[in-house]
């Protein structure tokens, strides 16, 4: 029997984990799969192991695993596969397929443009957009967020846009903000985060500190939220995982190999 296991990140804020769970439940309503479960990578329950074993208790012989993550980074290429390797060894008779995160999808630029329009009536020629990602030691995160920024710039003719990061990747948000203020009149901050949480509070704190030292117009857009566009992207990732089992078959590799798999376009 086929099962679908969705893995959310989890949050220190209970509200954040509940928002993620509610979003995923809406996404899987239309998926015709007998067993559907939601679990968390960390900071919330059930764990990946608990979610996986619940699927088996309900009769699953095949489990399609999909990470509900924005970008392909260490969580999707190392942490989750590491758990699945352990579970495969424990339950060798269960067939596992493993999908990909939201990644780089052309429709995401539409969502980002909507967020900008909700905050700014029109961009000036001297406007500069900062697309802020969480960041990671995985270089693919930088590559993918820069590609998303490029798609937004080309599709909607954004005058100037730059990807920056809160941690793990360069340029850092604070450095990028300091640099661009010298050359623009209006800064539009677009957090590439799923929901309002501790990271967004940190961004707001930094912006307030900068506003106290200069007269530049700095505006911050809302987090992505669990938007209908992201719902469609997740539904696409789920159907890919369920319907192309040969391409998405989970074959245990070393962790190093999983990090190298980013060269495959399916991880973008």
The full DSSP string for 166-201 is SSSSSSBHHHHHHHHTTT-SEEEEEE--SSSSHHHH
pLDDT above 90: residue 254: no
Q: Which fold has domain 108-220?
A: Rossmann fold (3.40.50)
Q: Helix, strand, or coil here: 122?
A: coil
Q: Percentage of the chain with pLDDT > 70?
A: 91
What pLDDT shows up at residue 261?
42
Overall average pLDDT of the 89-111 stretch: 95
pLDDT above 80: residue 94: yes
Q: Do domains 2-103+227-267 and 108-220 have the same CATH topology?
A: yes
Overall average pLDDT of the 130-152 stretch: 94
Q: Which residue has the higher pLDDT, 252 or 167?
A: 167
CB atoms within 10 A of CB 75: 19
The domain limits of the chain are 2-103+227-267, 108-220
Check if CATH label 3.40.50.1400 holds for domain 2-103+227-267: yes
Distance CA 14, CA 173 (A): 27
pLDDT above 90: residue 34: yes
- CB half-sphere exposure, 9, CA atoms < 13 A: 20
Overall average pLDDT of the 8-33 stretch: 88
Would you say 4 and 54 are in contact if contact means Cβ atoms under 8 Å apart?
no
What pLDDT shows up at residue 179?
86
Express each pLDDT in 174-229 by its tens digit: 999 888 877 788 899 999 998 767 787 788 888 887 766 666 788 999 989 889 99
The model's pTM is: 0.87
pLDDT above 90: residue 39: yes
Would you say 240 and 105 are in contact if contact means Cβ atoms under 8 Å apart?
no
Lowest average pLDDT, out of 22-36, 62-76, 249-263, goes to 249-263
């Amino acid at each position: 029997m086929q099962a679908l296991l969705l893995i959310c990140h989890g949050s220190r804020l209970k509200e954040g984990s509940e928002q993620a769970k509610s979003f995923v439940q809406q996404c899987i309503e239309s998926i015709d799969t007998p067993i559907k479960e939601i679990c968390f990578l960390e900071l919330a329950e059930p764990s990946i192991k608990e979610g996986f074993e619940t699927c088996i208790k309900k009769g699953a012989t095949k489990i399609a695993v999909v990470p509900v993550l924005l970008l392909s980074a260490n969580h999707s290429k190392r942490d989750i596969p590491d758990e699945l390797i352990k579970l495969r060894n424990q339950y060798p008779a269960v067939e596992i397929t493993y999908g990909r995160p939201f990644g780089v999808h052309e429709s995401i630029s539409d969502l980002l443009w909507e967020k900008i329009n909700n905050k700014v009536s029109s961009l000036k020629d001297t406007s500069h957009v900062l697309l802020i990602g969480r960041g990671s030691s995985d270089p693919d995160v930088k590559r993918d967020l820069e590609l998303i920024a490029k798609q937004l710039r080309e599709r909607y003719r954004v005058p100037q846009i730059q990807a920056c990061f809160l941690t793990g990747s360069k340029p850092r948000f604070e450095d990028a903000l300091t640099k661009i203020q010298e050359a623009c009149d209006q800064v539009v901050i677009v957090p590439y985060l799923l929901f309002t949480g501790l990271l967004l509070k940190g961004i707001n704190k930094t912006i307030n500190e900068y506003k106290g030292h200069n007269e530049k117009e700095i505006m911050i857009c809302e987090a992505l939220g669990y938007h209908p566009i992201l719902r469609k992207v997740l539904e696409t990732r789920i159907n890919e995982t369920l319907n192309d089992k040969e391409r998405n078959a989970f074959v245990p590799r070393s962790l190093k190999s999983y990090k190298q798999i980013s060269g495959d376009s399916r991880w973008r």
